[in-house]
Structure 1
Amino acid sequence: MTTSLGGLTPDREITQDTIRSAYDFIICGGGCAGSVVARRLSDNPEVSVLVIEAGGSDRVPTVIDSTLWMQNIGSERDWGYHAEPSPTLNGRTPPLPMGKVLGGGSSINGSVWARGHKNDFEMWAEAAGDPAWNYESVLAIYRRIEDWHGPSDPYRRGTGGLLNILQPNDPVPLVPALIEAADALGIPRVDDINGAAMEGDGGCGLPSVLVQDGNRRVSMAATYLHPVMGRPNLHILLCSEVTRIAIAGGRARGVSFVHRGRRYEVEATREVILSQGAINTPKLLMLSGIGDEAELKAHGIDVVQHLPGVGANFQDHILLAGCCFEYVTPEAPRNNAAEFVFYAKSRSDIATPDLMPVLEEIPFGSEVTATAYDLPTAVDVAWTLAPGLARPDSRGRVRLASADPFAAPRIEANFLGTDTDMAAMLRCVELCRDIGNSAPVAPFVKRELMPGPLKGAAMEDFIRNAAGTYFHESCTAKMGRDEMSVVDANLRVYGIDGLRIADASIMPEISTGNTMAPTVVIGERASEILATAYGLAAPT
């Protein structure tokens, strides 16, 4: 058991001698979706639930303080994955951070609550063949779970739900200037970036954030799990890594895992739910014999179910560590240190905004550009308007490196792998530089640190050296009805009974905006599906 911090309730970690031989439901991963499913299932006292989380406690200062989120990247709360060397990034191997801590990504991310565009969910529903995934259905979930403290919008926003969501309080003085500049460029300011703007062409303004009391993070673990950790039917096992799904007779029977150096096998009398994220979920499926037959055989793994889509369709928003400006007067980050965002189209003939830059209230460079441009290390002397792609056309793949469950997988991210992505990013950099060098923003700019007025091949080279992850890995076990789909509309893994997936890997296409909120929706939808399947009380 960990000690309390700042008056907070201690975490409850079960010890070796209390691990039962069987549970009704085993949830692999206590992240954004896994926390939701665990809470909702355990609301039924007759149901026993085990959550197996590879990371440790989320009750640490760099998790609780939302302005310190970047200090978690590369720490023990990050899986520490890197992409394979990529020719589209000048041979770089960009990091792909993923939360290895209770709460998963919601415990180490920038706390932005971006609900996604209407077109995202209409596409998901079409892919699944089920209107329960469409925009109206998803809106109903959002209204149920939100406690929104921003501009009133009863059709789109909820109040009284579990999740405390607001707009940044007293943002840095730079933010109103950025809004004015973007508006002048034809990206309209909106009262709620998650409202009507996400049914049309986008806009600019304050993000919705999961922050309270100034800078205190509201994670999914803090919201869904901590209040119910005393339940006798809910066991949360930290520092435990699942190594295999036990499958017999075409059904998932349980899991094998390692906890503090000791191996365990636990039975699931009803179902196993995978919520390990878009890298570790396909990895575990393949280790368990579910995946592309040729790839499994290459690693000496017996094929249980041939599903060629496992690990394929990897998508991530591409974030550029660029467009950095030195402050006239240093300004410390506030709230979540990312208090401005805009959504826009790179060209007029597309239906959904494909650009999503975000303010990073620090000097932000890649391992190449930070050195090449000699960026300052003090966090309060510069700010970055980081260009981002919301709807990249590039697709990658997650593969096994070996049959060793503790070996990191091979991740072919393929960022900027299409000409369309480069063209969109060039337009995004242009917009960000125009905003940063505009008259409304001039009082906050001593000088532009990078990239400057590069042209042609020089700008493309800068982009390849600066591009990396937006921390939104997804789509590697997609929901759908084609031969590359891994789960059906009810999140059941094709060909295997008693096995479902509830995390960002099931997205057919990545959502428009940060992926935490849609992943929570996936967790809520999984809970509804399980409640119906087993006659349990539905989530409220």
Structure 2
Amino acid sequence: MIISADAVAASYDYIVCGAGTAGCVVAARLSEDPALRVLLLEAGGHEQVAEVRDARVWMRNIGSERDWQFRAQPSSALNGRQPPLPMGRVLGGGSSINGLIWARGHKNDFDSWAEQTGDAGWSYDAVVALYRRIEHWTGPAHPRLRGTGGPVHVGLPEDPVPLAVALKAATASVAGVPAVDDLNAEAMEGSGACGIPNVAVMPGAVRVSSASAYLRPALARANLDVVTDALVHRLTFAGTRATGVVFSVAGKRLTVAASSEVVLSAGALNTPRILMLSGIGPQAELARHGIAQRIALPGVGQNFQDHILVAGCVWEYRRPEPPRNNSAEFTFFCRSDSGLETPDLQPVLEECAFGSEVTRGQYALPDDPARAWTLAPGLVRPHSRGHVSLTGSAPDAPLAIHANFLSDDRDVRALLHAVELCRDIGNSQALREFAGRELMPGPLKGAALEQFLRNAAGTYFHQTCTARMGRDEMSVVDGALRVHGVQGLRIADGSVMPSITTGNTMAPCVMIGERAADLLRAGAAAPVGTTQEERAW
């Protein structure tokens, strides 16, 4: 149940910090065992508001009180811009405010994770089994790859806008990207495909979040306590064992013990913050803020990755068409270079005129979403890497997030190709019925096109990889999600990804939550070579 701070017990078996996409899964699964007492802490409030429930208005959550409202540090690669980095601060986390596309990730993503961790439990075949358990798939049946009866309702949008259907044919004919009925079937084992995306939406445009799918059904259990508006300050320790959590609610400070384990599920920005405030992280970073070092882990906060989305290639509708469903009813995966083994581009339809804080004014884009549509170029295997650092030792001190979008020239080349490709598709004869005047960017070339890209590029809302799994000195957790050198502490959120998945990250984060719960309940032993003592530094 959701309880007040005054009702929190002195000790629980497990404390889960963060009721986001993965944290709700972990807490709900652990509480299935009535012998376990579980505490779930969430910095935000509840998710039962119209802006969350109605999938058609999800963009209203961005910049609201349900968003942490992070911004990246100024970057010369983006002409000094500070793009927003939305992240959910609400029960369900990002799954309560995101664009609702359910993309599992590519086969090569997970086989690479298995190789880097030495743990076959992260291989493609293993995660497909988890996905089949997670999903209640209502689209075309596929006994090998798709599951039914799981907690997460996943299907295809009801009656998508005619433009989305036309884009399938146009992309196949112009770009040679095959159209498929299910973008999470064999499409994620090959070189790319286009189609109507899977969405986590119930009939009637009702959002499916981790809160609605996992947490709400578990709230009736007497062994699960949930505290909202709870800001985690730091972990407590006995030697190198995590023993509990210090947090505050409305200024009241509490310390609660965990007799088994603490699980950090605070996301790729707040998880490294909590680790560093607890003395776990890069030595120089901790010393800079007077934080006593407990465990030296130089990889904490490093390896920041995010998909890069360009806002965007925009056309006027010939006839106005209001958005439907999740307002993003078409996407495709393809390669910017034929030599790549995995698709690196994922443009997506935005059923409005989608511009950045710079390009919207430059191109006088209309505010009425029914007047225009966007094919937004997206990069889903970026080479650019960033990092997250502290600005102070207080738990509410701002983070310095160096996203470093477009800092690697390979990303610039890939996205310039993506812009040209989206323009070719949008201006093709196959879309004449829908595409009137091209509003943005028009036939730019060379330096002018690159300037447009640097003014238009931003986040795909998929911040990840800042506490990555692995066996080298820059990894933070092992394949069993245990923090190196610490007992009783695991991480279960997008920060553990060694590299970001190919596609939207809600589905992989739910999968990480399911695997974490399995590992916690089983007390699984670490794969050979992943403990602090056994690694070669």
Q: Structure 1 length normalisation: TM-score?
A: 0.96
- Cα distance in 2 between the residues matched to 1:106 and 1:373: 32
Match of 1:159 in 2: 148
1:176 paired to 2:165? yes
SS at 1:247 equivalent: strand
Question: Shift in Å at residue 248 of structure 1?
Answer: 2.1
Match of 1:33 in 2: 22
1:431 paired to 2:417? no
CA RMSD of aligned residues (A): 0.9
1:227 paired to 2:221? no
- Cα distance in 1 between the residues matched to 2:425 and 2:167: 7
Structure 2 counterpart of 1:486, which letter?
A: V
Give 1:523's match in structure 2, choosing from 509, 513, 526.
Answer: 513
Match of 1:112 in 2: 101
Question: Shift in Å at residue 381 of structure 1?
Answer: 0.9
The answer to whether the 8 Å contact 2:480/2:524 transfers is no
1:502 paired to 2:489? no
Unaligned runs of 5+ in 2: 526-537
Match of 2:259 in 1: 269
- Cα distance in 2 between the residues matched to 1:248 and 1:296: 20
Structure 2 counterpart of 1:112, which letter?
A: I
Match of 2:50 in 1: 61
Alignment of 1:432-511 (within 5 A): 432-511=422-501
- Cα distance in 1 between the residues matched to 2:167 and 2:178: 12
Question: Shift in Å at residue 207 of structure 1?
Answer: 0.4
Match of 1:132 in 2: 121
The answer to whether the 8 Å contact 2:328/2:348 transfers is yes
- Cα distance in 1 between the residues matched to 2:393 and 2:189: 45
SS at 1:17 equivalent: helix
1:290 paired to 2:286? no
- Cα distance in 1 between the residues matched to 2:435 and 2:403: 34
Structure 2 counterpart of 1:243, which letter?
A: H
Match of 1:146 in 2: 135
The one-character-per-residue Cα deviations of 1:412-454 (angstroms, maximum 9, x if unpaired) are: 0000111110000011001111111111111111211100000
Match of 1:538 in 2: none
SS at 1:286 equivalent: helix
The answer to whether the 8 Å contact 2:314/2:373 transfers is yes
The range that moved more, 97-106 or 145-154, is: 145-154
Question: Shift in Å at residue 164 of structure 1?
Answer: 0.8
The range that moved more, 12-21 or 118-127, is: 12-21
- Cα distance in 1 between the residues matched to 2:138 and 2:5: 42
Q: Structure 2 length normalisation: TM-score?
A: 0.97
The range that moved more, 455-464 or 433-442, is: 433-442
Match of 1:240 in 2: 230
SS at 2:36 equivalent: coil
Match of 2:529 in 1: none
Alignment of 1:179-258 (within 5 A): 179-184=168-173, 185-258=175-248
- Cα distance in 2 between the residues matched to 1:515 and 1:521: 10
Structure 2 counterpart of 1:279, which letter?
A: L
Match of 1:305 in 2: 295
1:93 paired to 2:82? yes
Question: Shift in Å at residue 17 of structure 1?
Answer: 2.5
The one-character-per-residue Cα deviations of 1:281-331 (angstroms, maximum 9, x if unpaired) are: 001100100000011001100000000000000000000011011111111
SS at 2:46 equivalent: coil
- Cα distance in 1 between the residues matched to 2:238 and 2:86: 34
Alignment of 1:11-90 (within 5 A): 12-90=1-79
SS at 1:473 equivalent: coil
Structure 2 counterpart of 1:438, which letter?
A: S
SS at 1:443 equivalent: coil
- Cα distance in 1 between the residues matched to 2:157 and 2:68: 29
The one-character-per-residue Cα deviations of 1:209-255 (angstroms, maximum 9, x if unpaired) are: 01112311011100001112111100111111101111221010100
The answer to whether the 8 Å contact 2:332/2:346 transfers is yes
Give 2:349's match in structure 1, choosing from 344, 359, 382.
Answer: 359
Question: Shift in Å at residue 73 of structure 1?
Answer: 0.6
- Cα distance in 1 between the residues matched to 2:129 and 2:26: 17
Question: Shift in Å at residue 469 of structure 1?
Answer: 0.4
- Cα distance in 2 between the residues matched to 1:218 and 1:408: 31
- Cα distance in 1 between the residues matched to 2:204 and 2:350: 17
The one-character-per-residue Cα deviations of 1:399-422 (angstroms, maximum 9, x if unpaired) are: 001111101210000001111100
The one-character-per-residue Cα deviations of 1:68-104 (angstroms, maximum 9, x if unpaired) are: 1111111000001000000000000000000000000
Question: Shift in Å at residue 534 of structure 1?
Answer: 8.3
Structure 2 counterpart of 1:107, which letter?
A: S
- Cα distance in 2 between the residues matched to 1:418 and 1:17: 50
Alignment of 1:383-462 (within 5 A): 383-462=373-452
Question: Shift in Å at residue 163 of structure 1?
Answer: 1.1
- Cα distance in 2 between the residues matched to 1:402 and 1:319: 31
Structure 2 counterpart of 1:31, which letter?
A: G
Match of 1:9 in 2: none
SS at 2:69 equivalent: coil
- Cα distance in 2 between the residues matched to 1:45 and 1:249: 30
SS at 1:380 equivalent: helix
- Cα distance in 2 between the residues matched to 1:113 and 1:44: 29
The one-character-per-residue Cα deviations of 1:468-521 (angstroms, maximum 9, x if unpaired) are: 000000000000000000000110001110000000000000000001101111
Structure 2 counterpart of 1:103, which letter?
A: G
Question: Shift in Å at residue 145 of structure 1?
Answer: 1.3
- Cα distance in 2 between the residues matched to 1:156 and 1:16: 43
Question: Shift in Å at residue 13 of structure 1?
Answer: 2.4
- Cα distance in 1 between the residues matched to 2:33 and 2:2: 21
SS at 1:446 equivalent: strand
The one-character-per-residue Cα deviations of 1:98-142 (angstroms, maximum 9, x if unpaired) are: 000000000000111000000000000001001011000001001
Residues 1:442 and 1:307: Cα distance change in structure 2 (over 3 Å): same
1:103 paired to 2:92? yes
Question: Shift in Å at residue 456 of structure 1?
Answer: 0.2
- Cα distance in 2 between the residues matched to 1:340 and 1:322: 15
- Cα distance in 1 between the residues matched to 2:383 and 2:273: 23
The one-character-per-residue Cα deviations of 1:170-198 (angstroms, maximum 9, x if unpaired) are: 00010111111100020110111111010
The answer to whether the 8 Å contact 2:134/2:511 transfers is no
Unaligned runs of 5+ in 1: 1-11, 536-540
- Cα distance in 2 between the residues matched to 1:294 and 1:504: 25
